[in-house]
């Protein structure tokens, strides 16, 4: 298969690109390096540096059609999306529409899209199935939901085979590739970085949630499992339609359980301060992953929390300054 990976210099995109190459597929990456890293691009992938919204660049990249596209490139900081919503609507939708126009014009049939558990907002119950109410509580989640709707329209009108993968909390590292965001807002890398660099603060946001230990419960899914799901989804998507699939380990872990796992993996004692809840943080987000298991034959084989933390810690210790750029 010949695949274009938008955002393939980023965290999940680079691990996925490496996974697709390992299948013997041909991989090209389009990335503006706004949050990605050249060093994350796997050897063997062609890197086109630039923005998806650059129509001349897209025309050159699509000079030879692709069999499929995996679309990771997006702005994805929740707090920033609340402060600068128009940037998110312009860039997340603009990039997706530009890419889909090219894809449809070139006759390419398959598109696998990075969606998010953020489309569910505050779910009425867990585990969350794909047909739960879609009620995002922030601009980031609303742009993800809008992109899903655009994909569904393109599938209906233009015969696209589209799969939206709704990731829960991506985490862990895969050998040479790990998580390096600036700023880092995700729990596990932020916690690990606070152990390596005193300047990085770590706080628990709220310990008065209606959960067993009062802290928020999240579903962590190993980045290697996410990468495998993308390869499976590209293979599976061989007929027109739109299919949303949850990707989560299917089990919830509280912030305090994550702290315990980190203390065990690192041998360091942790006693972070407790701050107020952040607005819009649901108490519990846990995926039902049955549909991905059934349709794709996907298994979250690496998504046990101790393994996620051990792999992330190995990467952060080997890369204390991330990718160093
Ligand atoms: N990390 C998570 O836990 C998580 C959870 C749910 C969904 N997602 C989604 O998965 C995707 C990947 O997440 P990530 O953590 O790997 O993010 P990332 O920031 O590491 O990667 C995104 C990549 O896209 C590139 N990019 C962004 N806008 C672009 C544009 N307009 N043109 C070209 N390149 C552009 C960036 O340079 C970066 O390399 C995102 O769409 C994100 O919203 C992530």
Q: In this predicted model, what pLDDT tens digit does every residue of 195-215 receive, in sequence order? A: 998 888 899 999 999 999 999
CB 2 within 8 A of CB 29: no
Q: In the prediction, which pLDDT does 169 show?
A: 98
Asked whether residue 181 is assigned to any structural domain, the reply reads no
Which CATH number covers residue 9?
3.40.50.720
Structure tokens at 75: 């702005």
β-sheet bridge partners, residue 26: 2
pLDDT digits (tens, 9 = 90+) for 4-51: 999 999 999 999 999 999 999 999 999 999 999 999 999 999 999 999
The answer on 258 and 140 residing in a single domain is no
Asked whether residue 268 is assigned to any structural domain, the reply reads yes
Compute the radius of gyration of the chain from its Cα atoms. 19
Asked whether residue 179 is assigned to any structural domain, the reply reads no
How remote is the CA of residue 31 from the centroid of ligand 1, in Å?
10
- pLDDT of 146 strictly over 80: yes
- Residues with C-beta less than 6 Å from any ligand 1 atom: 7, 9-13, 30-36, 51-53, 72-74, 76, 91, 95, 114, 116, 167, 169-170, 181
The answer on 126 and 229 residing in a single domain is yes
Asked whether residue 273 is assigned to any structural domain, the reply reads yes
CB 135 within 8 A of CB 122: yes
* 3-state DSSP assignment of residue 34: coil
The answer on 93 and 35 residing in a single domain is yes
The answer on 291 and 228 residing in a single domain is no
How remote is the CA of residue 75 from the centroid of ligand 1, in Å?
6
How far apart, in whole angstroms, are the C-alpha atoms of residue 121 and residue 5? 27
- pLDDT of 108 strictly over 70: no
CB 75 within 8 A of CB 221: no
Owner of token pair 């007929």: 239
The answer on 162 and 138 residing in a single domain is yes
The pLDDT of 126-147, averaged and rounded, is: 97
Give the chain's domain count: 2
Among protein residues, the one whose CA lies closest to atom 26 of ligand 1: 73
Query: Chain-centre distance of CA 167, in angstroms?
Result: 6
User: Domain residues for 272?
Assistant: 187-218+250-318
Asked whether residue 323 is assigned to any structural domain, the reply reads no
Asked whether residue 180 is assigned to any structural domain, the reply reads no
Which CATH number covers residue 278?
3.90.25.10
CB 55 within 8 A of CB 97: no
Q: Which helix (H) or strand (E) holds 266?
A: helix 255-266
Q: In the prediction, which pLDDT does 290 show?
A: 98
Mutational test site, ligand 1, from 7, 38, 143, max ligand atoms within 8 Å of CB: 7
Among protein residues, the one whose CA lies closest to atom 21 of ligand 1: 10
Q: In the prediction, which pLDDT does 197 show?
A: 87
pLDDT digits (tens, 9 = 90+) for 214-273: 999 999 999 999 999 999 999 999 999 999 999 999 999 999 999 999 999 999 988 899
The answer on 64 and 41 residing in a single domain is yes
- pLDDT of 96 strictly over 70: yes
pLDDT digits (tens, 9 = 90+) for 263-322: 999 999 888 999 999 888 999 999 999 999 999 999 999 999 999 999 999 999 999 999
Q: Average pLDDT, whole number, for the chain?
A: 96
- Percent of the chain at pLDDT > 70 equals 100
Asked whether residue 85 is assigned to any structural domain, the reply reads yes
11 is catalytic: no
CB 240 within 8 A of CB 160: yes
* CB within 8 Å of 293: residues ≥ 6 apart: 299
Backbone angles phi, psi at 35, to 5 degrees: -130, 0
């Amino acid at each position: 298969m010949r695949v274009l990976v938008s955002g393939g210099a980023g965290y999940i995109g680079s691990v996925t690109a490496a996974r697709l190459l390992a299948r013997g597929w041909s991989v090209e990456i389009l990335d503006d390096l706004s949050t990605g890293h050249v060093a994350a691009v796997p050897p063997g992938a062609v890197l086109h540096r630039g923005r998806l919204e650059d129509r001349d660049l897209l025309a050159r990249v699509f000079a030879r059609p692709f069999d499929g596209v995996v679309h990771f490139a997006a702005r994805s900081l929740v707090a920033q999306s609340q402060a600068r919503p128009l940037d998110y609507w312009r860039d997340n939708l603009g990039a997706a529409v530009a890419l889909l126009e090219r894809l449809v014009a070139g006759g390419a049939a398959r598109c696998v899209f990075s969606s998010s558990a953020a489309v569910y907002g505050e779910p009425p119950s867990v585990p969350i199935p794909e047909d739960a109410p879609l009620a995002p509580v922030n601009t980031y989640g609303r742009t993800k939901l809008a992109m899903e709707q655009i994909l569904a329209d393109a599938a209906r009108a233009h015969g696209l085979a589209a799969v939206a993968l709704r990731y829960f909390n991506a985490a862990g590292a895969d050998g040479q590739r790990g998580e390096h965001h600036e700023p880092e807002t995700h729990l596990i890398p932020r916690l690990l970085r606070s152990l390596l660099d005193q300047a990085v603060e770590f706080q628990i946001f709220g310990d008065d949630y209606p959960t067993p230990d009062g802290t928020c419960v999240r579903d962590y899914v190993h980045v290697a499992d996410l990468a495998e799901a993308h390869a499976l989804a590209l293979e599976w998507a061989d007929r027109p339609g739109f299919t949303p699939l949850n990707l989560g380990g299917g089990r919830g872990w509280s912030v305090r359980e994550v702290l315990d796992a980190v203390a065990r993996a690192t041998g360091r004692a942790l006693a972070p301060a407790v701050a107020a809840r952040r607005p819009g943080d649901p108490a519990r987000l846990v995926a039902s992953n049955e549909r991905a298991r059934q349709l794709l034959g996907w298994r979250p084989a690496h998504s046990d929390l101790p393994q996620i933390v051990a792999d992330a810690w190995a990467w952060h210790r080997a890369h204390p300054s991330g990718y160093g750029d």
